[in-house]
Amino acid sequence: MSERLQPGDVAPAFTLPDADGNEVSLSDHKGRKVIVYFYPAALTPGCTKQACDFTDNLELLAGAGYEVIGISPDKPEKLAKFRDKESLKVTLLADPDKQVLESYGAFGEKKLYGKTVVGVIRSTVIVDEDGKVERALYNVKATGHVAKIIKDLGI
């Protein structure tokens, strides 16, 4: 079970392929704030709602200086289908080995329909301009989460 990140921790570095197979690194965003969110699976109802919420609020978040990256264990081909089907504008990255999910504390035991299972823990980590964790939110709800982030950040 991976450790959860705390405010002030250095955000773990990563380089993962996007929906088109291009490599994207956290370091590409140095000097900018990044909302990194982790979700279980592309093309599922909750994850679609969450990705659409981020896309709908992307301009508002960008205007406040935030970029958004979504990470799941899906392969790039599935992410491309997800992006195209839902007209998503957020950067979607593939982590099929779950190494980044684990390094961010977003993979491990969770409750699902009353049972304990191992899987992706829906999480959001906000990284500041210096690559440090500003906020780390775990077991978030797919619906209403983006609105809560916007409110909490005072945007």
* Residues marked as catalytic: 47
Strands 133-138 and 107-112: unpaired
Compute the distance between CA of residue 144 and CA of residue 149 in angstroms, rounded to an integer.
9
The full DSSP string for 66-90 is EEEEEEESS-HHHHHHHHHHHT--S
Element containing residue 137 per DSSP (H, E): strand 133-138
The count of other CB atoms within 10 Å of the CB of residue 14 is: 19
